[in-house]
Amino acid sequence: MKSSIHTDHTLIIDELETSIKFHNLDLILGFLPKGSYLVGGYIRDIILGRKTKKVDVDIVVPLNAIEIGKKIADNIGSKFIILDEKREVVRIILNHIYIDIANQVSSTIEGDLCSRDFSINSIAFLFDKKCLVDPLNGLKDLEISLLRTHSEKNLLNDPLRILRCFRFVSELNFKVDLNLITFIKKNKGKLYLVAKERINYEIQKIVHGANALDAVLMIKKLNIFDTDKLFEDSFFLDLEKINYAELNQEEKEKFLPLFFIAQILDEKSLEQFKFSKTEIAKILSQVLNKTLIRLQCYEGLDINQAAYEWNYGQQIIALQSGNKEESDLFSKKYLIERPLLKAIQGNGEDNNILLIDELDRADEAFEAYLLEILSDWQLTIPELGTVKATTPPIVIITSNRTREIHDALKRRCFYHWVGFPNKETELEIISMRVPEAGLDLQKQVVLFVQSLREQNLYKAPGIAETIDWAQALVELNCVALDPQTVDSTMGVLLKYQDDISRIQGSEAGKILDEIMLNKLKTEEVKG
């Protein structure tokens, strides 16, 4: 392929160099070999004059990305992370700017650029020659606001790109190339192979974009999530009737995203998203753009901590002043709202999400108190009367089955068992939540935790412990598990001394040996 080097875009190059200095990226230029170049969204956003809160920089070097990245980090005093040891992808964090450095995947710059997702992200800036390379005419596509990919393969290298197309429609008001639409229609089913956290992130970006309506209409027409309700004419009609000019700011920020999500996802789609018990509540609040109110249960929890209590100190001061009658002392002014009362009142919203976490840790008497709330959506305060919910909150109750929950309470709930994820799902979660760990370390962490759960432990580690352990290993600059590191960090995974004592030492070494043996067998098969 002939190189398309643009030397006549002086303004773009000047803006790039100004931005590089502004973000202190010039500090690393001296460590980059000849032939290194800037690529991706950083260039695209500068050309578009687009400012974003998060700055991501992608740099490609001919060879030895890990060695170069380590040298840069050591010299400028920044954090260094190996994201993928095999493919040599590293990350440097400089003043909250993420700089990813990777090896060129082809023998030519043009070949590398042609392997990227979209033409608008396939423009390179060569540092040493101070010129632009644009083999796919990405600059022209930016000019005409067109989203286009070089090949179907580019799209399938990461199926999330199917959804990212609509993000660009929403955020940038881009049109989608007809060939790209054909590829999307053909391969939309592969979207469910992607980590659900990544899908959730893209959906959030889509529904909050300035042109979300256009993006959602496209998603509906192409039936991206294969939902059951998409071809009802009324849904299209409702969407097309939306008049942005007539909406207030709150409706744009809260109502519209929720409405859009309801248009593109139904129960069948949402079932595909698997999360931990507490995480379900958090993600639901994000998706619905509602306030999450959490009540953490524990032994001895009573009405004062769960629902409300009176501010006795302020009441005494008011009484001593002599200006207050007894009836005034029990007004809302002196009422301290706890989670249950906050959820019932709604705080000006149509409803909240109430998470009652680990109910089985509370006393049985507290369950009886909850029945009034879950049955009648009301809470009685003797001094003030009954507080009724205008719109009932969405309530999520979690339990670890340390004791059985009373049948009267369970009858008021839909039940869903959340078990431990399989290896593939857990790896997806860790890859999303702790990308800094790098793929090899992520795999080792997941395999080790999966093996631990097969042991006869008092308390097996959950997803939260897996994430915490991976984060701890990253902070220790660990790139691979070894017996000493495992022993010293076992307290992150296991919370009982008997469990720790049992696993530390020979047992941990045995698990590590099995992991390494399986890795060698896999590599032999591939070889």
pLDDT of residue 3: 39
Tokens of 412: 């008021």
Does 139 lie in the same domain as 11?
Answer: yes
Question: Would residue 417 count as lying in a domain?
Answer: no
**Does residue 515 belong to any structural domain of this protein?**
yes
**With a threshold of 0.75, does the pTM exceed it?**
no
CA–CA gap between residue 405 and residue 398 (Å, rounded)? 10
Separation CA 429–CA 367 (nearest Å): 33
The reported pLDDT for the residue numbered 78 is: 87
CA dist 53 to 45, 96, 98, 162, 463, Å?
12, 10, 12, 24, 29
Handedness of CA 491, 492, 496, 499 (dihedral sign): negative
Does 432 reside within a domain? Answer: yes
Chain centre to alpha carbon of residue 401: 28
pLDDT for residue 267 is more than 70: no
Question: Is residue 129 domain-shared with residue 9, that is, in the same domain?
Answer: yes
The C-alpha atoms of residue 467 and residue 495 are separated, in whole angstroms, by 15
Same domain, 111 and 218: no
Together in a domain, 254 and 284: no
Helix (H, G, I), strand (E, B) or coil at 394: strand
Token pair 């008021």 is at which residue? 412
Q: Domain for residue 67, yes or no?
A: yes
Range of the domain at 497: 423-526
In-domain check, residue 380: yes
Distance CA 499, CA 495 (A): 8
Mean pLDDT of 122-136: 94
Q: In terms of domains, do 393 and 435 share one?
A: no
User: Do 374 and 429 belong to one domain?
Assistant: no
In DSSP terms, which residues pair with 432 in a beta bridge?
none
> Of 151, 62, 66, which is closest to residue 108 (Cα–Cα)?
62
Q: What percent of the chain has pLDDT over 90?
A: 32
Higher pLDDT, 28 or 405: 28
Domain membership of residue 95 (yes or no) is: yes
pLDDT at 522: 55
Mean predicted confidence (pLDDT) in 279-302: 76
Q: Are residues 482 and 521 in the same domain?
A: yes
Mean per-residue pLDDT, 218-235: 69
Q: Are 490 and 511 in contact (CB under 8 A)?
A: no
**CB atoms closer than 10 angstroms to residue 268:** 12
Measured N-to-C along each axis, helices 212-222 and 160-172 cross at an angle, to the nearest 10 degrees, of: 150
For residue 141, which of 272, 67, 44, 53 has the smallest C-alpha distance? 44
* pLDDT number for residue 428: 85
Query: Residue 477 falls within a domain, yes or no?
Result: yes
**pLDDT, tens digit (0-9, with 9 covering 90-100), for 403-422:** 788 888 888 787 777 678 88
Q: Which residue has the higher pLDDT, 232 or 443?
A: 443
Between 452 and 372, the more confident residue is 452
More confident residue, 54 or 75: 75
Mean pLDDT of the chain: 83
Nearest-10 crossing angle of helices 423-433, 463-475: 50
The answer to whether residues 119 and 232 belong to one domain is: no
Q: Residue 59 belongs to a domain with what CATH number?
A: 3.30.460.10
Domain boundary residue among 203, 238, 270? 270
**Domain end among 95, 122, 144:** 144
Same domain, 472 and 440: yes
Calculate mean pLDDT across residues 472-491.
Answer: 89
Tell whether 217 and 259 lie within a shared domain.
yes
pLDDT tens-place string over residues 367-402: 878 887 888 888 888 888 888 888 888 888 888 777
Q: Is residue 476 assigned to a domain?
A: yes
Domain count, the chain: 4
Q: Given 93, 116, 144, which residue is the final one in a domain?
A: 144
Q: Are strands 89-94 and 37-39 parallel, antiparallel or unpaired?
A: unpaired
Residue 28 near residue 61, CB atoms below 8 Å = no
Q: Are residues 176 and 221 in the same domain?
A: yes
Supply the CATH number for residue 393's domain: 3.40.50.300
Percent pLDDT > 70 in the chain is: 86
> Do residues 427 and 401 share a domain?
no
